[in-house]
């Protein structure tokens, strides 16, 4: 399978997961219909794309990339869209997550190269 396609589908899964989580924030405990429905649809698409990726990438590696980059992206959405603060420790931790994902992709023989 084409490496670019596999990672593009994984990135799409991450983007839809971040959109779903953002919609969850906007749903205000499921009291707003449109954000709640958006969340459900985005999560369904995210899990579909993630499951497709698992055909070619080991589950631990795919989930580490998916969850790690999802954490970083949703933290940025929280900061820029929802006005949530990120202190120095949070920024350092997010940097370590990015470093971990890079180590997995560059040096691990478990990933799809």
CB of 58 closer than 8 Å to CB of 29: no
Q: What is the reported pLDDT for 105?
A: 80
pLDDT by residue (tens digit) across 43-69? 999 999 999 999 998 898 899 899 999
CA distance 20 to 26: 10
pTM attached to this predicted model: 0.87
Indicate the pLDDT class of residue 39, thresholds 50, 70 and 90. Answer: very high
Q: What is the reported pLDDT for 53?
A: 95
59: helix, coil or strand?
helix
Which segments of 7-99 are extended strands (E)?
none
pLDDT by residue (tens digit) across 76-109? 999 999 999 999 999 999 999 999 988 988 888 7
CA atoms within 13 A on the CB side of 35: 12
Q: What is the reported pLDDT for 109?
A: 79
CA distances from 45 to 2, 15, 26, 41 (A): 21, 10, 19, 6
Q: What is the reported pLDDT for 3?
A: 86
CB of 11 closer than 8 Å to CB of 64: no
């Amino acid at each position: 399978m084409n490496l670019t396609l596999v990672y593009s589908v994984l990135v799409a899964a991450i983007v839809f997961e971040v959109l779903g989580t953002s919609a969850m924030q906007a749903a205000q405990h499921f009291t707003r219909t449109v954000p709640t429905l958006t969340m459900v649809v985005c999560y369904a698409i995210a899990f579909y794309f993630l499951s497709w990726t698992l055909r070619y990438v080991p589950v631990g590696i795919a989930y580490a990339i998916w969850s790690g980059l999802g954490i970083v992206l949703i933290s940025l959405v929280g900061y820029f869209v929802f006005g949530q603060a990120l202190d120095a420790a949070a920024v350092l931790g997010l940097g370590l997550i990015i470093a971990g994902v890079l180590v997995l992709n560059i040096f691990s023989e478990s990933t799809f190269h």
